[in-house]
Structure formats: structure tokens, C-alpha cells
A and B are shown apart, each in its own frame.
Chain A
Amino acid sequence: MTVLDTGDKRPGIGTDAVEVGRAGLADPRAASLTRRTLPRQVPWAIAGGGVLLTIVFKLTLDNWALAVFLAGVIFIGVLSAVSWRFEDARRARDRFATSLISTAFVLAVLPLVSVLGYTIQRGYGKLSPYFLSHSMRGVGARDDTGGIYHAIIGTLEQVGLAALIAVPIGLLTAIYLVEYGRGRLAKTVTFFVDVMTGLPSIVAGLFIYAFWIMMLGFQASGFAGSLALMILMLPTVVRSAEEMLKLVPNELREASLALGIPKWRTVLKVVLPTAFGGIVTGVMLSIARVIGETAPLLLLVGLTQSINTDPFSGWQSALPLYVFDQNHAGNQFAEDRAWAAALTLIVIVMILNLAARLIARWKAPKAGR
């Protein structure tokens, strides 16, 4: 037993060495760093078995939810047991936790993917240049013609106007809160932003209805809808911009101020550019939050089947309104149109998202001179 002659007299070390020595390994230090590991493919194979099992259960039990649940439980159990048998206890617990989390992730993503998949499946066939470039004007109840041009215009204008108002106000509020605000006023503003975050969209719609249409006497229009959307966007813009500005290290502000740069220029030229990427993402989130709003638009925009490019006068349409309206029409063609409009809405959000990412990437990393 040469391994024992390490000159180390601490208790415990010797015993370890004996055990490892029995396992037939020459160097105790090397031995303590290795352990038995399942080949990389095994967990995947078990996961594949789980998927197969899901299908089998689905066919026998004819219930998706139950099938997924049972197969998930069996997958986790088998993987942990195999690991327990062929690896060690710590590894088995690790596998258990990992597979639990992965299963939870799949469960969380499943509804999302199926919504998207189903919308594509139902809406894709109807999408065509004709559909995108025509309104519903003069389309009869049983016609297969008609399109969503008027609704796209309505949505883009209403959301665009809402963003045009909400983004500057929200950004300035966030700058005030992070860079200047202290004391009572800042606390009050924060409180109201919090309250607004939870505001149901129909309440925002009712408020604008009461204020803009009943009190000030304006007609229903795209702009009235924009006002309600603006109210809904504002807290998201403020909150996300606030978080992003808070992430900017104070050292940068100090570095700038110490150069004799006035505070407002420090905020404008150092703090904002540093937070730019995050702020753009936040604005995008707020747009995504309101672009599908239906309730306030029902109250404020009216609903028209023809093209109206002027958001300030006359009724408009909007994609969510269109989906709502067509879905109510109760015939196959209208239903197809509703799905295609829903798909278009999703695509618009994705395009905006992509654009925001591109802008953020183009602006954020240290540009040249």
C-alpha cells in the first residue's frame, strides 16, 4: 500500500486512500476527480422514450393532457432511477431536478407553440397580396373576397400615435424618477405608475370615452383609440425605462460630471445611450402589450369596413376589432379571414420586435466616431 506513504498524518486522508486503493486506482487525487457518468446519449434516449410513450398514451387514453402528464412522470422517474443505479445519489438528484425543470419548461412553452402553430395553420391559407391590400367594403355576407388593408392601417396608425405620445412622456418620467426625482413628488409618481400598470383596458377605454367623447364632444375616431392605448402603454414604458436607467452604473454619471459636463448632457449623452438597447426593448414590449387590445377600441374607434386613413376623423378599423367582428359573422369565410388577420397581427408584432433588436444592436455597441 504505497499510497498510504504520503507523509500526511491527518486523520481521514489515509482511510480515503485505502478505499480508493481497493478500487484499484493508483493515485488517490486523480481518483477523487473522476466518477461514473452515464453516456451523453442516455438521457436523450430516455427523453425520446418519453415522447413515444406520450403518443402511445394519447392513442390508448385519447386525452392529451393525461398522456403528457403520465409520460412526464415516467420520464422523470426512469431517468432518476437509472442515474441512481449507474451513477451516484448526488448525480441522481441532479438529474431529477434537471428533468423536472426541463419538463416544466416544455409544459410552459407547449401552449405558446400550439397557439402559434394553430394560428399559422388556420390563417396561412387565406393570406395573399389581395387579402392584405383590400378592405371589406362592399363584401357580402357570404363572399369569399375582402381583406384587412383597412384594419392594418387602423392598427398601425392607432398604435403609432399612441407610441408617439406615450414614449416621450414615459421616457421623460423615467428620467425624472431615476436622475432627478427625490421625495414626495417622485413617490407619488411611482405610486400612480404602479396603479396604472394594473389598469384594466376597458377602464382606460371608458375613461377616454367619458372624457374625450362625452365631455369634450369629439366623435369616435382612431385617435380616441390611441389615447386609450397610450394610457395602457405608459406604465410599461416608464417601468422598463426606469429599470434600464437604474442599470447604468453610477460611476459613468460621476465620470461624466467630473469632466465638467452639465447634468442634462450627462443624462442625454452618457446615460441614455448606455441604456438605449434596453429602452428600445421596453418600448417594444409596451407596443406588443397594446397592439392586441380590443376592448377600448370597441368603445372608441367605431368599426368600419372601408379604408379610412385619417385617424383624426371618422371611424376606423383595427386588426383586433376585425378579428372580433369577423369571428362574429358566423360563416366559414369570415372565420378564415379572422384567423388570417390574427396571424397578420402576430407577424406585425414579430417584425416590430425584430426591428427593435436591429436598432438596439446597431445603436448600442460602441459606435465609431
Chain B
Amino acid sequence: MKATTTRTADRGTDIRTDPEAGMTKRIEVSGLNAYYGSHKAVEDISMTMEPRSVTAFIGPSGCGKSTFIRTLNRMHELIPGASVDGSVALDGQDLYGSEIDPVAVRRTVGMVFQRPNPFPTMSIYDNVAAGLKLAGIKRKGDLDAIVERSLRGANLWTEVKDRLNKPGAGLSGGQQQRLCIARAIAVEPQVLLMDEPCSALDPISTLAIEDLIALLKERYTIVIVTHNMQQAARVSDKTAFFNLAGPGQPGRLVEIGDTETIFSAPTEESTADYIAGRFG
């Protein structure tokens, strides 16, 4: 397991010889704090995200869900002045260890953003192939196959198969978001992080993406941030509730549990209040 996150070339063959097994990973977070400069945005988070399952993050705006999810693939540190302490372990390997290459981490832990952001200079095909081409994973021969598989995986293939050479920016918002998902799964990550992937979408596209999540979860560890309680209830196996202790305080994990339990009988009163819409 040691080399998996640092040596991506190996992983490429791993996946293809064994497409079903060994792809998903357990994420164990312990004692994680994230800072913007000297401002502590999230404090002391410890939790586990299980493989082949969907973990949903809910909580009021500003409680640090985005900040936390971005620490899981080392995107947080890209913001000037931002820093992290604590540990995030992917199947036992600490992502913040000194020998870890953040680029390889991001290849292993994919991410879909709130706003669809296809590369404007690239065609639909190139958008999907971007990760493989630009990350220097040269597999020219089966690039076509990978693009098709990823687009099918993102439920977009039938809509775009006749215009793969058209610009990705020419798709509708919902299609663009699915294109971004296709782009993220084309590099075959082991974990997929989604930060409010449906917040800019209509109900139909939202359902399409929720269906997609249900499919993807058989192959990936999925973490999704959402403000939509129904969505959390529909798609996730586990739900984590985050909250601020008070104004100006860092965000904290209040509780995490099976989605059914969290929605029917949460341990904490604040969770029940939030879900019932009594605050936040």
C-alpha cells in the first residue's frame, strides 16, 4: 500500500487489472485543525469516511465544510497563508506526511466544485482527457476508451457523443457539472470529494447527479457537502453535522452517524434543530 499515493503510474495499472476491487479507500481524520493565516477555521475534527459509501457534510454556512473537505486532498494549502495540522490518513497513510507528494494526493482524491468549471479553451473530449494528458499519464491508445467510459460514468455520453469536439463551455450548467464529474473520474481517483455539486443546478440535473452518485459509490469513497437536507438523506450513508460554537469561533464536528439515525434520532439537540430548520 505504501507506494499507492506517491507513485501514480503504478496505480494506473492497478485499476485496470482490477477495476472493481481495491479502488476505494478509507479516510481517517484525527485532530485536524485548518487555518487561514492565524484564523482558525475548523478545529479538532476526527472522523472516518468509509470506502464504498457516501458521507454527507451538513451544517450552517461558514462552519468550515468547504475548508475541511479541501484539506482532504491538500487543496486547502493552495490558498496563500492557509495551513493545516492534524492528520488525514488514506488507508493508513498520512496525507500530510513529509514524503507525500501533494500532486499525487490530488490525483488519488478527486474533487468536484460547487460551480461547474470546464476548461474554456478545450473541447468536451479534451476536458475529459485533460487529467490524463496533462498529468503526463500517456496512454494515447486507449484515451478514446477512457473518455467514453468516463462520460458514460457521468451519465453524459448520450448527450455529447456527437459533439465531442465542441467546446465544453457550450454545454448547459447541469451538463457542464456532469462534464466536470467525468473529468474527475477519468483520472480514476479512489476518493471523490464534491462540494455542493448541485447548488447551481435545476431539480432534473440534480436528480441526474444524485443517481450518478448512487452509481459511483460502488467504486469510490464519496464525500459530499450539501445544504439540501433531502439530498443528504437521499444519497448518503453517513451524515456529519458541523457547526460553529459561536460567532467568530472555529467550526467543529458536532456528530457523525448513519444518515437514518442522524435524521430520525440524532444524539445532539443542535443537530435535530438544524435538520428541522429551527436555526441556521
- Residues of A at the B interface (CB closer than 8 Å) are 182, 249, 251-252, 254-263, 265-266, 269-270, 273-274, 276, 364-369
Known: A249-B117, A265-B135. A259 touches B130 (CB 8 A): yes
In the assembled complex, which residues on chain A have CB atoms less than 8 Å from the CB atom of B170? 366
Of B75, B115, B134, B136, which one neighbours A258 at CB under 8 angstroms?
A: B75
Taking the closest CB of chain A, its distance from the CB of B225, in whole angstroms, is 14
CB proximity of A276 to chain B, nearest CB, Å: 8
Confirm or deny: B224 has a beta carbon within 8 angstroms of a beta carbon on chain A: no
A368–B122 CA distance with the chains assembled, in angstroms: 7
Does any Cβ of A come within 8 Å of B220's Cβ? no
Residue among A251, A255, A368 facing the most chain B CB atoms (10 A cut-off): A255
- B212 at the binding interface (Cβ < 8 Å): no
Q: Chain A residues with Cβ under 8 A from B130's Cβ?
A: 256, 259, 261, 269-270
B223-243 vs A, Cβ < 8 Å mask (1 yes, 0 no):
000000000000000000000
Q: Say yes or no: A364 contacts B115, CB within 8 Å.
A: no
Taking A259-B183, A265-B135, A265-B136 as known contacts, 11 extra A-B pairs with beta carbons closer than 8 A to each other, sorted by chain A number, are A249-B117, A252-B120, A255-B183, A256-B130, A258-B75, A259-B130, A261-B134, A263-B103, A274-B119, A366-B122, A367-B121
21 contacts between A and B (CB under 8 A): A251-B113, A255-B117, A256-B134, A257-B75, A258-B113, A259-B106, A259-B130, A259-B183, A260-B106, A260-B135, A261-B103, A269-B130, A274-B120, A276-B121, A366-B167, A367-B121, A367-B122, A367-B123, A368-B123, A369-B125, A369-B164
Q: Please, which residue of chain B has its CB at the minimum distance from the CB of A259? A: B131
Let me know if A259 and B187 touch, CB within 8 A.
yes
State whether the Cβ of B8 lies closer than 8 Å to any Cβ in chain A: yes
Which residues in A have their C-beta under 8 angstroms from that of B135? 259-262, 265
Residue tally, chain B, CB below 8 Å to A:
41
Q: A254-B78, A265-B136, A368-B165 are in contact. Are A260 and B120 (CB under 8 A)?
A: no
| Minimum Cβ distance to chain B for residue A65 (Å) | 48
Are A366 and B8 within 8 A (Cβ)? no
- Residue of A256, A258, A365 contacting most chain B CB atoms (<10 Å): A258
Q: Among A251, A262, A365, which residue has its beta carbon within 8 angstroms of that of B115? A: A251
Contacting pair B120 A265 (CB below 8 A): no
Q: Provided the pairs A258-B75, A258-B110, A259-B107 are in contact, do residues A252 and B131 lie with their beta carbons within 8 angstroms?
A: no
Q: How far is the CA of A367 from the CA of B120 in the complex (A)?
A: 10
Shortest CB distance B177–A (Å): 12
Q: Given the interface contacts A262-B135, A269-B134, A365-B167, does A257 sit within 8 Å of B121 by beta carbon?
A: no
B90 within 8 A of A: no
Residues of A close to B165: CB separation below 8 A: 368-369
B134 near A259: Cβ-Cβ < 8 Å: yes
Report the minimum CB–CB distance from A253 to chain B (whole Å): 8
What mask results when residues 98 to 137 of chain B are scored 1 for a CB within 8 Å of chain A, else 0?
Answer: 0000011111101101010111111101100111001110
Name the residue in A249, A256, A259, A269 with the highest tally of chain B Cβ atoms < 10 Å from its Cβ: A259
Given A265-B135, A369-B164, the answer on whether A258 and B120 have CB atoms closer than 8 Å is no
- Give Cα distance in the complex from A369 to B121, angstroms: 11
Report the number of A-B residue pairs with Cβ-Cβ less than 8 Å.
99
- The distance in angstroms between the C-alpha atoms of A254 and B8, with both chains bound, is 20
Q: Could you list which residues of chain B lie within 8 angstroms of chain A, going by C-beta atoms? A: 8, 73, 75, 78, 80, 103-108, 110-111, 113, 115, 117-123, 125-126, 129-131, 134-136, 164-170, 180, 183-184, 187
Instruction: State in angstroms the CA–CA spacing of A262 and B102 once bound together.
Output: 9
A254/B113 contact (C-beta < 8 A), A259-B107, A366-B167, A367-B121 known = yes
How far is it, in angstroms, between the C-alpha of A280 and the C-alpha of B182 when the chains are bound? 32
Is A270 in contact with B119, judged by CB distance below 8 angstroms? yes
Q: Within the complex, what minimum Cβ distance (angstroms) separates A346 from chain B?
A: 33
Of B115, B131, B167, which contacts A261 at CB under 8 A?
Answer: B131
* Cβ contacts under 8 Å, B184 to chain A: 258-259
Contact A273 B121 (CB under 8 A): yes
Q: Which residues of A contact B8 (CB under 8 A)?
A: 260
- Closest-by-CB residue of B relative to A265 is B134
Q: Which A residues are in CB contact (< 8 Å) with B119?
A: 252, 255-256, 270, 274
User: CA A276 – CA B262 in complex, angstroms?
Assistant: 50
B167 x A258 contact (CB < 8 A): no
Minimum Cβ distance to chain B for residue A38 (Å): 42
Q: Which residues does chain A contribute within 8 Å of B187, judged by CB atoms?
A: 259-260
Assuming the contacts A251-B113, A252-B117, A366-B168, asked whether A257 and B78 have C-beta atoms less than 8 A apart, the reply is yes
Once the chains are docked, how many angstroms separate the CA of A263 from the CA of B165? 26
Query: In the bound complex, how far is the Cα of B75 from the Cα of A108, in angstroms?
Result: 50
- Alpha-carbon distance between A269 and B133 when the two chains are bound, in angstroms: 10
Check if A369 sits within 8 Å of B134, measured CB to CB. no
Contacts of B107 in A (CB 8 A): 259-260
**List of B residues within 8 angstroms of A364 by Cβ:** 121
Q: Name B104's contact: one of A255, A260, A274 (CB within 8 Å).
A: A260
Which of B103, B113, B164 has the most C-beta atoms of chain A within 10 angstroms of its own C-beta?
B103
User: Chain A residues with Cβ under 8 A from B180's Cβ?
Assistant: 255
Write the chain A residue with the least CB distance to B184.
A259
Chain B residues lying within 8 Å of A255, measured Cβ to Cβ, are 113, 117-119, 180, 183
**7 closest A-B pairs (Cβ-Cβ)?**
A260-B107, A366-B167, A259-B131, A258-B111, A368-B165, A273-B121, A260-B106
